[in-house]
Amino acid sequence: MIAIQGVAGIVLARLLSSTDYGIVAFAAIFVTFLSQFSDFGIGSALVERKVVDQKVLNTAFTVRNLLSLVLIVVAVVLSFIVPHFFDTPHIDWVIRLLALNFVLNSFGFVSSALLRREMNFLGGNIALLVSTAAGAVVAVVLALYGFGFWSLVYSALVSSLVSAIVINIIRPCHLRYEFHRETVREFWKFGSYMFLAGLTTYVLFNTANFIVGAVAGAEMLGYFSLALDWGSRVPVLLGMTVLSVLFPAFASIRDDKAQLRKMYVESVRYSGFLAILLNGTLLCISEDFLRTILGAGTDKWMPALDCFRILCVYGIVRAILEPLGNVIVVFGDTKVLFQANLIASVVQIALLYPALAWFGVEGVAFVVLCSYALQYAIYLPYMASRAEIGAGIFLKAVSLPVFCSVSFVAVYGMFHYWGVGDSLPLIGLKVVVYAAAYVLPFSYLTDFQIVRHLKELTSARMQ
């Protein structure tokens, strides 16, 4: 899946312009905002709930479908309003088409939640892999035929449709429309702060896109969104793979603090390891990556260079923080998620426009990095009091991956001194050397435990 997304992303970056990316990214801001109202934490409630019967499943299905229909209507209304305030071409139809995802996703919603609840990671992986491949093929083919930004829109719709079909094949679920008020109240009791946390998370992840698109235009938003996309790929992929395993695993041992603490520390260490390995390498080859790989030897993406480098660091900070969310949800303390996201969102909103005005998209990227890192100030004291995981334990978990990252500096200096070129074979050589220089000392200092742990994780996902 990582390879599919990576190859498709590279091909599309060569075929599409920054304006193409900017148009879809700006429309997605509004659709993503509406998507916050499509769940209300029902999915997490189905996974966390001790008993789930047919009545609960039917009610969840009914509520999700009703919300999806309402959101499509709101999106259509919004599509007529937005063009009057923002001069982004074709944004109205892009919003309308992307809104169809609400209905498409609702039909795989219950089956997806049950796969997570039953820890059927293989089934979830298959659905994700097939839908990702389908979306990638559609996007690349349409881009080759000159569809421009429409290739990204139709790709999103096909991916959602295929995902819903495959998930229902893997985990059939016989549902009917049924509504029970008491069940809805229980959903709301669990999901209210999940919803608020999701809403503030939306603000945290999308305000920057909105400010850049509204003030600087679609072209600059295209540069920023591409940099943010590649910088965020590691935490997003960790969320879809490693962390999807951890949530039900954490839930099964939430009453055993010693075991929970051990699993959390390991998840932080290896999340940090993978994030620093991938984003650290990407940071070191950033100029070669934008010019040779994404730009096909041109400078079309070079205006995003500094922004890209900052957001590579952001991806590392975000990946290390991600496991905390699972622990908080397992304990049912979703109010903490809301508080942390709210503080970070307020800081971000206050600083984004001045940062854009004074420092351009690079300033925006720096604000995104700092505001997200601010959440550590909320989460670390919480973990110390709730799960007996103090700041010292957290720092010990991340210290080794951070220490081994010094190897990147040494290798970067070596390549810079020798003046190694930017042809594809030489870029491949750089990637191998950077990865080896980081992985070997980390593996040695951990007695090669990472090999065993990755095998265990792979085995868990294949069950």
pLDDT at 432 over 70: yes
pLDDT band at residue 461, thresholds of 50, 70 and 90? Answer: very low
Of 79, 99, 168, the C-alpha closest to 131 is 168
For residue 78, which amino acid is it? L
pLDDT given for residue 197 in this prediction: 66
Q: What span, in angstroms and rounded, lies between the C-alpha atoms of 402 and 273?
A: 8
Q: 200: pLDDT confidence band, cut at 50, 70 and 90?
A: confident
pLDDT above 80 (res 47): no
pLDDT at position 243: 55
Contact 380, 320 (CB under 8 A): no
Least confident of 68-77, 222-231, 388-397: 388-397
What is the model's pTM?
0.82
How many CA atoms lie less than 13 Å away from 22 in the CB half-sphere?
23
pLDDT at res. 448:
67
pLDDT score of 450 more than 70: no
The more confident residue out of 258 and 64 is 64
Q: Specify burial of residue 344 (Cβ count, 10 A radius: 0-12, 13-18, 19+).
A: buried
Task: Please say if the pLDDT value at position 462 is more than 60.
Answer: no
CA 187 vs. chain centroid, Å, equals 24
Judge whether residue 390 has pLDDT over 50.
Answer: yes
Confidence of residue 240 (pLDDT cuts 50, 70, 90): low
**Is residue 160 pLDDT above 90, yes or no?**
yes
Question: In the structure encoding, which two tokens stand for residue 102, read together?
Answer: 């609400």
Give the domain ranges of the chain: 1-179
**pLDDT of the residue at 106:** 87
Query: Alpha-carbon distance 427 to 435, whole Å?
Result: 12
Burial (CB count <10 Å: 0-12, 13-18, 19+), residue 181: exposed
Q: By 3-state DSSP, what share of the chain in percent is helix, strand and coil, each rounded to 5? A: 85, 0, 15
Q: Is the distance from CB of 274 to CB of 398 less than 8 angstroms? A: no
The reported pLDDT for the residue numbered 249 is 60
Backbone dihedral angles phi then psi of residue 301, each to the nearest 5 degrees? -105, 5
The per-residue pLDDT of the chain, averaged, comes to 84
Which pLDDT value is given to residue 460? 45
For residue 186, pLDDT over 90 is answered with no
Mean per-residue pLDDT, 141-159 = 95
Are 275 and 235 contacting, i.e. CB atoms less than 8 angstroms apart?
yes
How sure is the predictor about 88, in pLDDT bands with cuts at 50, 70 and 90? Answer: confident
Judge contact between 18 and 298, C-beta under 8 A: no
Alpha carbon distance 270, 154 (integer Å): 35
Map tokens 């298959």 to a residue. Answer: 126
Which secondary structure element, helix H or strand E, spans residue 370, and what is its range? helix 334-373
89 Ramachandran zone, left/alpha/beta (phi>0; psi -120 to 50): beta
Q: What is the reported pLDDT for 283?
A: 94
Instruction: Give the C-alpha separation, 194 to 202, whole Å.
Output: 12
Query: Can you read off the two tokens belonging to residue 232?
Result: 């965020």
